Structure 1
Amino acid sequence: MTAFEVSHPDGRGTPIVMIHGVGDSLQSWEEVAGRLDADRPLVRYTLRGHGERGHNAPPPYEMSDFVADLIALLDELGFPRAILAGFSLGGLIAQAATLAHPDRVAGLIVVGSVANRSEAEQQRVLERFREVTASGPLAVARQSVDRWYTPAYLARHPEAREQTLGRMAQLEPECYAAAYRVLATSDFAEHLGAITAPVLAIAGDGDVGSPPHMSKFLARRVQRGSAIVVPGVKHQLLQETPDTIAKEIDQFVRTQEL
C-alpha cells in the first residue's frame, strides 16, 4: 500500500495531490503544503521504490506503474478528480496521468520538470543514469548537491547537504536506479497538445537538469498553459522557495476556479 498523508481532509475544494521527485520523499512537499490555503484536501504520498528498505515493489518500473499507483490512491481516497502537482519525476508522472486519465485531472502543476529534452540534454541524463547504476544514489548525490541547491542556500542551511546525502543513503540502489530510468527515458513533448486541463509550469532560472525552456515549451504546447521562472534558484524550488511556490499554486487554483 502506498504511504500517504492528507492535510485538511474536510476541505471542500478540489484536492491537490503532490508527487515528489526521484530519490526524494513525500516530505519534500511539506514546506509548500504548510503554506497553501486550507480550503481543500492536500495529499502527499511516497512513490514506489522510495519506501522503507525491504518494503518496495521489486523493479523494473515503468511509467505506467507510477500512473497506476496514483490512480489507485485517488480511488482509495474517494477522489473522482484532483489537481496534480508534480516535482521533477513527479511532474512527468503527473503529465502521464493527465494524458492517460484526463477525466481524473482538474488541473496540472509541474515544478522543475521535463519536456522536450534536446539531444544533448538527453545524452546528459542518460549518462547520469549510467552513473546511478554503476555507483549508486549516494555517490551520485555527492556530485549533484551543488547542482540542486544554490550556494547561498547551502551557506544559510549547511545541514541541507548532509540531510540530502543521508536520505539518499537510505534508498535501495536497485529501486532508485529503476525509478531514475523512468525519469531519464520519459518525455511527453509530442503528446502535450492533447492536455486540455489548465497547466502551470514552474522552473528555477538556474536549473540545469530541468531548465526554464522546458517549462516554457510545456506551457506553449498544452491547450491552456502558463509558465513561471523563479529567479535565483536551481532545482530544489520546493525547499528553497516554498513561499513562492505556494503563492503561485494558490493563485493558479483561484484563477482557474478549481
Structure 2
Amino acid sequence: MSKACIAGFSLGGMIARRFAQDVPSMTRALIILHSPHKRSAEAQAAILARVEQAREMGPAATVDAALERWFTDAYRTANPAMMDTVRGWVLANRTGIYDTIYRVLADGIDEIVLPEPPLSCPALVITGDEDFGNGPEMTHAIAAEIDGAEALVLRGLRHMALAENPGAINLPIRRFLDDLAKEPE
C-alpha cells in the first residue's frame, strides 16, 4: 500500500492532521501551513464573534478584516488586483453555508489536538510571524504533537504567505520533500 504526503493550508491543515490520525498507515508525511491549534480564551471569543458576524451578515461582513489579517499592509497596498481576487473568492461563498464552514475553524480544534495515539511521521509545520490567527505559538504546538515534526516561522508574513511570497513557502517544502525522498518508507 502506498503512503501519501498530505498537505493542507489553514482548515486544510486541520483536515490533513485528522487524516493522519484516522489512517496513519496511509500517511507518509504531513505539510501543515498556517493551521490553527488551541486558542486563548480571547482569541477563541474573537473567532466566534467573526463566525456569528458571518452568520448574520454573510461573507461580506468579514472579508475586509480578513484581508488585513491575511496580507501585510505593504502587500495589500501594492497588489490591489490580488485583493480583489481574494475578496471575490470570499464573497463567492454562499450566505448560510459560509459561517458553518468558518465555525469548523473555531470548534473543530479539540478533535485534532493531543491526538491519541500521537502522530508520528515526518512533518513540516509553517506559519508567518505576523499570522495573527494561526501564529508561531500554534505552529510550535502542532509540531510538538507530532514526533518528527519541524516548525518553521517565516518573518514578515501573514496568513496568505503562499500568495504573498510563494518562494518563502515553496523552498522549504521542496527541501522537506527532497529529504523525504531520500528516506526509506
TM-score, length of structure 1 as denominator length: 0.66
Structure 1 segments of 4 or more deviating over 6 A? none
Equivalent residue number for residue 31 of structure 1: none
What amino acid sits opposite 2:45 in the alignment?
Answer: Q
Q: Give 2:34's aligned residue.
A: 112
Letter in 2 for 1:173: T
Q: CA deviation at 1:85?
A: 1.0
For the Cα contact (< 8 Å) 2:136–2:153, is it kept in 1?
A: yes
**Displacement after TM superposition at 1:161 (Å):** 1.8
Q: Who is 1:84 aligned against?
A: 6
CA deviation after TM superposition for structure 1 residue 175, in Å: 2.1
Q: Map 1:1-258 onto structure 2 (within 5 A).
A: 80-187=2-109, 188-191=112-115, 194-257=118-181
C-alpha RMSD over aligned residues:
1.6
Tell me the CA shift for residue 131 of structure 1.
Answer: 1.1
Deviation at 1:208, TM superposition (A): 0.6
Partner letter of residue 39 of structure 2? R
Is the Cα–Cα contact under 8 Å of residues 63 and 91 in structure 2 kept in the other structure? no
CA contact (8 A) 1:192 1:218 kept: no
Residue 148 of structure 1 and its aligned partner are, at CA, apart by 1.0
Measured in 2, the distance between the counterparts of 1:174 and 1:189 equals: 28
Deviations 1:169-198 (A, max 9, x none): 221122222211111112122217611111
> How much has 1:235 moved relative to structure 2?
0.8
Q: Which residue of 2 aligns with 1:38?
A: none
When structure 1 is superposed on structure 2, of 197-206 and 172-181 the one drifting more is 172-181
Amino acid at match of 1:109: I
Helix, strand or coil for the counterpart of 1:247?
helix
Give secondary structure in 2 for the equivalent of 1:223.
strand
TM-superposed CA distance for 1:91, in Å, is: 0.5
The number of aligned residues is 180
Q: Which amino acid aligns with 2:68?
A: D
Task: Name the TM-score, length of structure 2 as normaliser.
Answer: 0.90
Provide the C-alpha distance between the structure 2 equivalents of 1:142 and 1:156, rounded to a whole number of angstroms. Answer: 16
Distance 1:129 1:153, change over 3 A: same
SS state of the match for residue 121, structure 2? coil
Q: Distance in 1 between matches of 2:81 and 2:117?
A: 42
Contact 1:193 1:221 in 2 (8 A): no
Q: Check whether the contact 1:108–1:199 (CA below 8 A) recurs between aligned residues.
A: yes
Q: Is the 8 A contact 1:192 1:222 kept in 2?
A: no
SS in 1 for 2:8: strand
Q: Say which is worse superposed, 191-200 or 99-108, in terms of deviation.
A: 191-200
Whether contact under 8 Å (1:192, 1:221) holds in the other structure is no
